[in-house]
């Protein structure tokens, strides 16, 4: 059992090292990650301008890099909307982030609970496990709707706590679409931004509603996730 645990840890470390190496060695990807990490949508848009299929591949690489290099996911979505328009931008981001989500889940499974507890904290992992168990698929679906919940962290925790893969996959695929669509639509208006544009203020209102829903929803799930002993006491 101990040998298997070490094999999993080594496999996880090797996977992370390989992804990190690709992020560092592939110059366009390294440059794009730098722009995304600094929140520089202008520089990232300029990098993708006129690149065609290569730009699409770079966006996919950026989303897969997010498995190990964290940055605001909305940056990628907005730039995709600006560069490729709304329908294609949503398609690229929906599929790319789905693959990224599966990658974070796999990393959580391979690394295992002890590693994830060291990274995220034992109490946070235990709370997440209770919320995922008691909340079931509605919790996983809702947590994807909340803009301030780290995208990759959900995958790490779901994998480490052995959430069923099928449940994680479909809730991630469906739950991520509203946020992706809002960011892509907003990004498509970056060049000629106007607050009077219905798509602009509609996207901003959508973000505000999701943020507003986050607090009461989070409080409710936290109450449901409290240990039975604490509730009884």
0.75 exceeded by pTM: yes
* Residue 231: per-residue pLDDT: 41
Place of tokens 């669509």: 181
Per-domain residue ranges for the chain? 2-232
* Residue 220: per-residue pLDDT: 58
* Residue 8: per-residue pLDDT: 61
The answer to whether 43 and 77 are in contact (CB under 8 A) is: no
Q: Could you read off the pLDDT tens digit of each residue along the chain, which spans 233 residues?
A: 556 656 666 666 676 777 777 777 788 889 999 999 888 888 998 898 888 888 999 999 999 999 888 888 889 999 999 999 999 999 999 999 999 999 999 888 887 777 777 766 777 777 777 777 776 788 888 888 887 778 888 898 888 888 899 999 999 999 999 999 999 998 888 777 677 778 887 787 887 777 777 666 556 555 554 554 444 34
Q: What whole-number distance in Å separates Cα of residue 136 and Cα of residue 8?
A: 27
């Amino acid at each position: 059992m101990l040998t298997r645990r070490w094999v999993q840890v080594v496999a996880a470390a090797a996977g992370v090292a390989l992804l990190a190496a690709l992020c560092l060695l592939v110059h366009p990807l390294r440059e794009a990650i730098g722009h995304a990490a600094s929140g520089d949508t202008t520089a990232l848009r300029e990098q993708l301008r006129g690149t065609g299929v290569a730009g699409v591949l770079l966006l996919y690489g950026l989303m897969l890099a997010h498995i190990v290099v964290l940055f605001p996911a909305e940056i990628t979505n907005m730039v995709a909307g600006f560069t490729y328009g709304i329908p294609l931008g949503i398609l690229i981001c929906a599929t790319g982030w789905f693959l990224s989500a599966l990658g974070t889940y796999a990393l959580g499974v391979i690394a295992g609970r002890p590693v994830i507890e060291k990274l995220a904290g034992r109490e946070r992992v235990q709370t997440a496990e209770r919320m995922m168990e008691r909340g079931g698929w509605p919790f996983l679906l809702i947590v994807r709707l909340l803009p301030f919940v780290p995208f990759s962290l959900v995958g790490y925790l779901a994998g480490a706590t052995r959430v069923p893969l099928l449940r994680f996959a479909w809730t991630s695929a469906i739950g991520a679409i509203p946020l992706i669509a809002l960011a892509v639509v907003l990004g498509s208006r970056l060049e000629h931004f106007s607050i009077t544009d219905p798509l602009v203020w509609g996207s901003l209102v959508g973000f505000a509603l999701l943020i507003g829903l986050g607090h009461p929803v989070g409080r409710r799930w936290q109450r449901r996730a409290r240990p039975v002993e604490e509730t009884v006491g």
